[in-house]
């Protein structure tokens, strides 16, 4: 906040980490919101949707059309945003804000949303939603999209983390990049104790945010949680952190092009 607007160096390791902490809140609230609905399988079933002129499930319909509107409204002009269906997105029709060019231009070609999409529907959703059908398919799809977007933004934020790390120590990164040494890069960008702190904080936040708040003084026990906090830490441990690191490696490999 204290940097002058044209200092060019608006991101630091501390500031990007702060941003990642703030994004945890969005992801955890997204999990809590999705957990309000049961699994609602029809949302994901291509046979069920039968939408005229559209081939796919209801969630695909909602995501593709929402992304198209948001693209027109300028969402993807921000280098922090990555679409799930970037093919054939309409151009922005609004005046553009000039985002600071902090990343190497190669960043634009990194989009791992296909892997995120697969993980979300195959692995995460079964842990979050209890099985059942309450008919709220459109609401379910809208919740899926906002949670997917939050997870995707967090993971692709790895581009910014990697750029900061590179600028802080180009002499350490350059030889590994030239040697295309993925393992070496992975090792260099990893801070095991930071990862552990992240996981623990996420679990704690999920427990706190998911608590039933009452004005009585009775203890808020486990039963009262809107959502199992260990799901949030599993999400981070198994997918969010590993994907963020994958983005960092991919970004660094292109950094000297």
Ligand X SMILES: O=C(O)C(=O)C[C@]1(C(=O)O)C=C[C@@H](O)C=C1
Q: Which stretch binds ligand X (CB under 6 A): 33-41, 98-106, 186-194, 225-233?
A: 186-194
Nearer to ligand X, 58 or 247 (CB): 247
The Cα-based distances of 194 to 25, 52, 123, 212 in angstroms read: 17, 49, 25, 30
Task: By CB under 6 A, tell whether 10 contacts ligand X.
Answer: no
Q: Which is nearer to ligand X, 19 or 220 (CB)?
A: 19
245 contributes a contact to ligand X by CB under 6 A: yes
Q: Which stretch binds ligand X (CB under 6 A): 61-69, 106-114, 144-152, 239-247?
A: 239-247
CB nearer to ligand X: give 116 or 129.
Answer: 116
Calpha distance 35→95 (Å, rounded) = 37
- Structure-token pair, residue 70: 């948001």
Spacing of C-alpha 137 from chain mean position: 22
Of 71 and 189, CB closest to ligand X? 189
**Nearest distance, CB of residue 175 and ligand X, angstroms:** 20
Cα-based angle 239, 243, 13 (whole degrees, multiple of 5)? 115
Beta carbon of residue 190, minimum distance to ligand X (angstroms, whole number): 4
Residue 235 binds to ligand X (criterion: CB under 6 A)? no
Encoded tokens for 120: 């979300």
Q: Is residue 191 a contact point for ligand X (CB under 6 A)?
A: yes
Identify the helix (H) or strand (E) that includes residue 25. Answer: helix 13-35
Q: Among the candidate windows 54-62, 102-110, 172-180, 238-246, which touches ligand X by CB under 6 A?
A: 238-246
In 204-241, which positions are buried (b, 16+ CB within 10 angstroms) versus exposed (e)? ebbbebbeeeeeeeeeeeeeebebbbebbbbbbbebbb
Q: Cβ of 196: how many Cβ atoms within 10 Å?
A: 11
CB of 177 to ligand X, least distance (A): 16
151 is a contact residue toward ligand X (CB under 6 A): no
Site for ligand X in 194-223 (CB under 6 A): 194-195, 198
In this structure, the chain runs to a length of 257
Which position among 3, 65, 109, 190 is part of the footprint of ligand X (CB under 6 A)?
Answer: 190
Instruction: Please report, in angstroms and rounded to a whole number, the separation of the first and last CA atoms in the chain.
Output: 32
Q: Any contact of residue 241 with ligand X (CB under 6 A)?
A: yes
Candidates 153, 142, 121, 138; CA nearest to 24 is: 153
- Applying CB under 6 A, which part among 142-150, 188-196, 201-209, 223-231 lies near ligand X? 188-196
Task: Tell me if 161 contacts ligand X by CB under 6 A.
Answer: yes
Contact 74, 177 (CB under 8 A): no
The yes or no reply on residue 99 touching ligand X (CB under 6 A) is no
Site for ligand X, rule CB under 6 A: 17, 20, 161, 189-191, 194-195, 198, 241, 244-245
């Amino acid at each position: 906040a204290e940097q002058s607007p044209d200092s060019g160096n608006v991101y630091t390791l501390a500031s990007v980490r702060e941003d990642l902490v703030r994004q945890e809140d969005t992801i955890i609230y997204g999990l809590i919101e999705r957990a309000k609905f049961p699994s609602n399988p029809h949302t994901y079933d291509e046979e069920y949707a039968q939408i005229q002129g559209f081939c796919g499930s209801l969630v695909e319909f909602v995501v593709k059309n929402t992304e198209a509107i948001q693209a027109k409204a300028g969402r993807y002009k921000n280098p922090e945003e990555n679409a799930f269906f970037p093919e054939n997105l309409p151009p922005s029709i609004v005046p553009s804000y000039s985002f600071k060019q902090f990343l190497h231009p190669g960043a634009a070609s990194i989009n791992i949303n296909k892997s995120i999409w697969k993980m979300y529907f195959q692995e995460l959703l079964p842990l979050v939603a209890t099985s059942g059908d309450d008919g709220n398919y459109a609401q379910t799809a809208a919740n899926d999209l906002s949670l997917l977007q939050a997870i995707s933004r967090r993971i692709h934020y790895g581009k910014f983390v990697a750029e900061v790390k590179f600028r802080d120590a180009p002499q350490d990164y350059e030889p590994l990049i030239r040697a295309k040494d993925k393992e070496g890069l992975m090792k260099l960008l990893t801070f095991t104790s930071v990862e552990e702190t992240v996981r623990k904080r996420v679990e704690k936040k999920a427990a706190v945010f998911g608590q039933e708040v009452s004005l009585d003084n009775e203890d808020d026990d486990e039963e009262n949680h809107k959502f199992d906090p260990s799901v949030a830490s599993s999400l981070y441990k198994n997918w969010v952190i590993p994907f963020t690191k994958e983005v960092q490696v991919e970004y660094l490999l292109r950094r000297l092009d």
